[in-house]
Amino acid sequence: ITSHYLHTFSDYRRYSEKQQARLTESKTEGRLNLDVQEDLLVCYLDEREVLEDELYHLLDLLEKTQGRQNSTRSYTDKSQVQTDVQQDLLACRKGDTFSCESGEYVIQAFLGEGSFGKVAKCLNLRNNETVAIKIHKSHLSNDDIEQEVAMLQALRAVDPDKNNLVRFIDSFDCQNCYCLAFEMLDKSLWDLMMDRRLTPLTLNEIRPITQQLLVAFHALKGLGIIHTDLKADNIMLVNHQDQPFKVKLIDFGLALPASKARIGMTMQIRSFRAPEVFLGLPISEAIDMWGLGCVMAFLYFSNYLFSHSSSYKTMKDICQMVGQPEDHLLNAGTKRYRDFNLGGAVKAYMTMEDALEYEDGMEFLDFLKRLLHLDGERRLTPIQALQHNFITLPASRKTRK
């Protein structure tokens, strides 16, 4: 494995150096037009990001290999009878049981898997409650797990149902894995969009989702917490059949206190990343409002507003779609790519047959523009957004869609 990654690392390094040389040569000789130069720059930046990812992965592999070669383990407890490989692969099976103070949980099914570990549907044998248990990988940093638990504990200061936040039940160690138990919810907005084959949601469907998320973010702002990872996957429908579009915000694995946010931190998925994160400006709860605007656009267009292929392309898309950052946010002389065109994009999706539908669409556009303000300090706060006409528009004036 190490040999493979060393070879890959070397290949990417040579390729990136070649791309950078081609870019320098083209600029020096003036042989290529600006579009071609931009394409070369994008390619170079993409490869550089891949190179960094590969290097990180390589170092992580070397660290694990070195640690295993230098360690000896003796298992004196039945719960510890696992090999290192089994630990890494989370050797939990359907029918396995977790026991802790809050209950005795039996795994009924696995709902999903990610870089953090797995999520299992479990039954609490003590009270017959079905819950979702997030099973962390054994090699994850204790600091990361402690940070997530600290955020979940902080959320207990508010009512999870009234504030549309997932209900945290318990945390416990079991079989060398760290587990977090939550209320069982239905499916994510991403799953809903997949079920609909990416058929866009209507404004009357987007509105209640947005209103509920604003309540959630208002609660988080009051607690001084930044979610940092808003996306359709982390917005769950509670029970879509009985309570259509009733949602809750989940996954606080990357959340952090606003007081600990530092300039230069990388957070949010790239296509939902706020400009201040890209530009190295102060980070606040406002990045979650940018993320909310991106989620709303995804639900309405069934596509991402901004590219996720590279940081360069994402910032270019932001400039094209939302406009040029002001001088106090970005150094003077940065190229302006194109005039603001978000309004044109929204209008293209609107039904113009009814004046009421048009009015609702215009309120949606204005709301989206205010959420996607380039300056985080001038972006709508949750309480301001809750008072916007798109949210408060009387039912008699809302679109019939």
φ and ψ of 260, to 5 deg? -100, 0
Integer Cα distance of 266 and 127 in angstroms:
42
Three-state SS for 182? strand
Residue 134 assigned ligand-binding role: yes
Three-state SS for 268? coil
How would you class 381 by CB atoms within 10 Å of its CB: exposed for 0-12, middle for 13-18, buried for 19 or more? middle
Active site residue 229: yes
Three-state SS for 369? helix
Integer Cα distance of 248 and 238 in angstroms:
7
Angle formed at CA 152 by CA 222 and CA 150, multiple of 5 degrees: 95
In DSSP terms, which residues pair with 132 in a beta bridge?
121, 182
Task: Write out the two tokens for 257.
Answer: 């206190």
Which of these is catalytic: 11, 173, 195, 229?
Answer: 229
Three-state SS for 395? helix
Chain position carrying tokens 């694990």: 64
Residue 269 to residues 14, 76, 116, 228, 281, Cα–Cα distance (Å) = 28, 42, 15, 9, 17
What does the DSSP 8-state code read for residue 4?
H
**CA torsion, ordered 57, 58, 64, 70, to nearest 10 deg:** -170
**CA torsion, ordered 99, 95, 253, 146, to nearest 10 deg:** 30
Integer Cα distance of 289 and 193 in angstroms:
21
Three-state SS for 238? strand
Three-state SS for 303? coil
DSSP code per residue over 57-86: HHHHHHHHHHHHHT------SGGG---HHH
Query: Which residues, 6 or more positions from 233, have their beta carbon under 8 angstroms from its beta carbon?
Result: 188, 189, 190, 251
Chain position carrying tokens 């049981």: 97
- Active-site residues, by number, are 229
Specify binding-site residues.
Answer: 134
Specify binding-site residues for ATP.
Answer: 134
